[in-house]
């Protein structure tokens, strides 16, 4: 019933909204990846894809706000995607951005919903998510946020049940999983892009979170 609309037909369906309510990130990513195959076959015009992503950026933001995360917290993330969308000039790069968008917003919903009333935790989480491609250290985090290392460590562990550095690694591995399945970038390039020192560091960290190497994860899920 949606075939006469020029936009992404999923915009007019409640399926994605339902999955957001369930915090079902893998299922949303699966829908997007399947949709991307059709877009490539149909050679979807770049301008259409840009428009669709602007709409999705607003939809995800609105839905995340509905689940209790403050607009002030979301502004930098929304603005970052809003500014990036017009700058990308290939369908593949826009599709990659869409997967990044889904991953970022759903990670916020999954990981942050329980602490949205804690201003300090929100500041830390926002910084970690916005700097996911940078090398993170407790010292740098302390300097950037103007908070002591001890306070950051104690506060984050108390509210999140995980150390801040382990959480930083966790969200980078989640992003790596998306990139492994949605791009042809080498494992080394993905690891370096996400702030890992070298391929060995990336392999070791990835395996500690997933139980398998990045190459095994890619091969298993492609198969």
The domain segmentation of the chain, as residue ranges, is 1-117
Predicted model pTM: 0.53
Give residue 163's pLDDT: 94
CA-based nearest residue to 135, from 205, 193, 77, 214? 193
Give residue 195's pLDDT: 87
Question: What is the dihedral sign for C-alpha 175, 178, 183, 184?
Answer: positive
Identify the segments of the chain with pLDDT beneath 70.
Answer: 1-6, 68-73, 111-117, 222-223
Separation in Å, CA 53 to CA 47, 138, 163, 165, 178:
10, 34, 34, 31, 18
Site of tokens 């690891």: 191
Give residue 114's pLDDT: 46
CA-based nearest residue to 181, from 209, 217, 129? 217
């Amino acid at each position: 019933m949606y075939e006469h609309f020029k936009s992404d037909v999923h915009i007019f369906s409640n399926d994605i909204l339902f999955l957001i309510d369930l915090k079902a990130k893998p299922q949303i990513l699966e829908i997007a990846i399947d949709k991307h195959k059709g877009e490539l076959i149909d050679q979807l015009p770049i301008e259409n894809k840009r428009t669709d992503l602007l709409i999705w950026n607003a939809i995800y933001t609105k839905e995340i706000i509905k689940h209790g995360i403050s607009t002030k917290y979301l502004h930098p993330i929304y603005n970052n995607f809003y500014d990036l969308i017009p700058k990308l000039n290939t369908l593949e790069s826009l599709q990659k951005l869409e997967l990044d968008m889904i991953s970022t917003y759903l990670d916020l919903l999954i990981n942050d919903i329980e602490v949205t009333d804690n201003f300090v935790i929100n500041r830390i989480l926002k910084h970690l998510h916005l700097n996911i491609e940078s090398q993170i250290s407790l010292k740098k985090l302390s300097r950037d946020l103007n908070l002591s290392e001890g306070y950051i460590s104690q506060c984050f562990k108390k509210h999140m049940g995980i150390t801040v550095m382990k959480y930083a690694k966790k969200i980078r591995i989640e992003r790596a999983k998306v990139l492994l399945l949605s791009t042809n970038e080498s494992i080394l390039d993905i690891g370096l892009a996400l702030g890992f020192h070298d391929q060995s560091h990336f392999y070791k960290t990835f395996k500690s979170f997933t139980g398998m190497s990045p190459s095994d994860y890619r091969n298993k899920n492609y198969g």
